[in-house]
Structure 1
Amino acid sequence: MELGLGIHRRRATARRPRAGPAKLKTLLAAQWADGRVPQIVYDLDRDDDYAPGDSFWRSRTLPGAPDRPTSGLVQPPNHAWAALLVHLADPDLSRRRGFLQRVYPRLVAWHGYLAARRDHRGAGLAAVVHPWESGTDNSPLWDEALAAVPDTPAWSITRPDLAHAPAAERPGTKEYARYFWLAERYRDHGCADGDADHPFAMEDPCFNALWAVSELALAEMATELGRDDVPHRDRAARITAALEALYLPDLGVYGAHDVVRGAVVHKATVNGLVPLVLPGLPRAAELVATLRGPGFLGGGALLVPGYDLRAPDADTALYWRGPAWFNMNWMLVAGLHEHLEGPLADSIARQVVGLAVRHGFPEYVDPLTGEPHGTRDFSWTAALALDLAVTEGTAP
């Protein structure tokens, strides 16, 4: 069938590691009764490896939570896209094992949660209620909203992340205090999304673009399973249309809409370029021009930076405030292929593979020099570099 997502068709013959189904199974097995797929499923033997851990969330005491320890927060909804790619890696094996039959209902419930519980203003977009949910927690997009959040959590903060990277490359003490205070408030309201005075609710263009592309993935799954694909295509179209209210013409990117303050944040970040993954995106040409422009690749960057390098507060070594991330560049490769920008996509793919291998698979890199930062031997960097080496023919 014709989905309109070239990335799906182009990768249909690429083999995927069998770890993919196992990881999805683990996440979906910890789904909450309201449909949310949690940010983290904790291994209690390693609870001290991540902060906050299970002892902070106490999730199993909350109504509707699963019988296993999880965070109460979520992550960007790329799960259905990932599940479709797993299926396409070996459709015959997937069919024999009933993979789509098992995951499809859970993924539908997950998207139903976003529509029912996170569309705070009825505009068709889902809001994140904590920077951690965006996956880009230290992005400049959240600065103004976070400034109104107290930095006085009751919980004693630990920083295991600093065992893997210098403090100068990570969010500061005050930022972490606000993160914890905000998480405490959400936890103490039962993670129920019913706190009308919750001070942080942001419609992130990256989060919503991934929701839309995952709805299209559900449409393809529905067709494979003999079910109605129209509701998924309709929702994807509604999300794509709703994103237009977040577009910033003078910056050439999509911004994040602050639901609490009723304004779109006027900052150019990689989050605002990720909607390129959507077919038929009205602003695709403008996003490509911005990506090629002086704030991003046109400024001499090897990979697409996380933030406009001309911004006065850009920092090419500081977490989400300028470095280039391998996962974001992987998505932009997919989006550029979607909009027939193959040479540019191939150029980025070569840099992803080359820099990942050369520097021991770092978490992120300086976009101008390629200098590695953050954790080394980072699993998603390795996985995405391997993927591009196979599917793009960019093996070093």
Structure 2
Amino acid sequence: MTTNVNKVNSSETAALIKKAKETLVANDLGGYTVPTHGLYPFQWNWDSAITALGWKHFNEPRAWQEIEVLLDGQWDNGMVPHILFHQDSTTYFPGPDVWGSDKRVKSTSISQPPVVASVVKDMLETADDKTFARGKAESLFSSLVDYHLWWYKERDPLNTGLVVSYHPWESGMDNSPAWDEALAAVPCVDWEYERRDLGHVDSSQRPHKSEYDRFLFLVDFFKKHKFDSEVIFNECPYKVNDIGIIAILHKGSKDILALGETLGIQDERLDYIAERIALTQSAISTLWCPEAQYFYCRNVLTDTLCKVRTSAGMLTLFAGLANTEQKEILNTKAQQWNAASQYCIASTHPEESRYEPQRYWRGPIWLHINWMIALGFENEGFQQTADKLQSDCRALVDLSGYYEYFNPETGAGCGGKDFSWTAAIALHWLL
């Protein structure tokens, strides 16, 4: 009986591995991978980094190329944009004409959670061809440092220890309920536009028009001020300390220091990064709510915590930012959170009034987030919680395949189909 079950599981796993590889190959546009055709026809920052982890398992040179092409679009000030428009497409809005950047590689003017340094460290440590990987890591190292310096200097010029985000899209968690109050204070655009996402995905799974109106106002605001970082820092109508960005940046900065040590690189800029790591470690307590016993984002303009429980708060474990007491509390909360829906961990707590199980970042499960959260719990010694996340995510893939995100109540796949980072995380973590 056990042998037959193992044979079935083995054949199912083999089929999923084959399908995951085929998904990445199908979404490959020659050096970079689109998240999925139609809905997302360009190169996205953190999608690309996560996708490289999948390529690594069957084509290491192609994995490194993914990172190289991403960093080739880096701005002179160190920013790595959230989208690189390598070629034209009519299936996505807003495109490069709306963003208005004048860079060599057309791009947006905001970034995304900087997971790429952590990915490079992982790729080097697990490489089959260590010599090749070391050469690639050495060639990319300075660009990674520049990227993190951009976050610290441009997005925290007052040295608070907590960088700010200027756009919900920058968080990668576009319409999270954590942004509702901060976004409501942003004006709406005064021009008509046609969304393209609703031609690919049912509107019940996507952000509302009222959110898009404000998303686009911010895009116009950046362009109007010619991407001047000082003016935007002082005048942007949306400024948030995003716990997700802060945690991923913190983890990435620690990984940059570890990479520098492994590669034997002497760079005085690393001393500054070490100082910023310490500054964030001391400042993170201001995002901990004693009453709720949880980490929240903060609306900087009103100096108020965004009191909605989202899975982003769990990323503090991934970053090593939670203290001993907070780790235990977060583990208990994760177990309760997991029990609140059929599958875990929902991106917004199912007991929150704003929870919507199939609308983008207001409830659905995202595998790459759960992978980072599970790593955090595993690193802190909470193996049972990590295993639960992993087994539920495997069950979602078994049930629905490689969708963009999943309904935590039913397990149904939502958003884009044949999605690159879902396939990549399956290869890297689940299979």
**TM-score normalised according to structure 1 size:** 0.88
- Answer whether contact 2:134 2:263 (CA < 8 A) is retained: no
State the match for 1:42 in structure 2.
85
Instruction: Give secondary structure in 2 for the equivalent of 1:264.
Output: strand
Q: How does 1:153-232 map to 2 (within 5 A)?
A: 153-154=190-191, 156-195=192-231, 196-228=234-266, 231-232=272-273
- Any stretches of 5+ residues in structure 1 without a counterpart? 1-10, 61-65, 390-394
Counterpart residue identity of residue 51, structure 1: F
State the match for 2:298 in structure 1.
257
Q: Does 1:33 align with 2:71?
A: no
Q: How does 1:1-396 map to 2 (within 5 A)?
A: 15=57, 17-18=59-60, 19-46=62-89, 48-60=90-102, 66-90=103-127, 92-95=129-132, 98-119=135-156, 121-154=158-191, 156-195=192-231, 196-228=234-266, 231-279=272-320, 281-282=322-323, 283-293=326-336, 296-389=337-430, 395=431
Distance 1:352 1:38, change over 3 A: same
Shift of 1:91: 6.6
- Answer whether contact 2:149 2:273 (CA < 8 A) is retained: no
TM-superposition CA deviations, 1:83-111 (whole Å, max 9, x none): 11121221744556611221111111111
Q: Residues of 2 paired with 1:24 and 1:169: CA distance? A: 30
Instruction: Give secondary structure in 1 for the equivalent of 2:219.
Output: helix
- Answer whether contact 2:299 2:305 (CA < 8 A) is retained: yes
Instruction: Give secondary structure in 1 for the equivalent of 2:84.
Output: coil
How many equivalent pairs are there?
A: 369
More deviation in 318-327 or 31-40? Answer: 318-327
TM-superposition CA deviations, 1:210-269 (whole Å, max 9, x none): 011001110111102213565544432322322111011232321111111112111111
Distance 1:45 1:30, change over 3 A: same
Shift of 1:305: 0.6
More deviation in 171-180 or 236-245? Answer: 236-245
Q: Residues of 2 paired with 1:176 and 1:369: CA distance? A: 28
Q: Residues of 2 paired with 1:120 and 1:136: CA distance? A: 24
More deviation in 117-126 or 260-269? Answer: 117-126
State the match for 1:7 in structure 2.
none
Q: Residues of 2 paired with 1:94 and 1:160: CA distance? A: 44
Q: Residues of 1 paired with 2:295 and 2:171: CA distance? A: 15
Distance 1:16 1:348, change over 3 A: farther
- Answer whether contact 1:353 1:386 (CA < 8 A) is retained: no
Q: Residues of 2 paired with 1:16 and 1:279: CA distance? A: 30
Q: Residues of 2 paired with 1:383 and 1:70: CA distance? A: 24
- Answer whether contact 1:153 1:180 (CA < 8 A) is retained: no
Distance 1:184 1:177, change over 3 A: same
Higher relative contact order (CA 8 A, sep 6+): 2
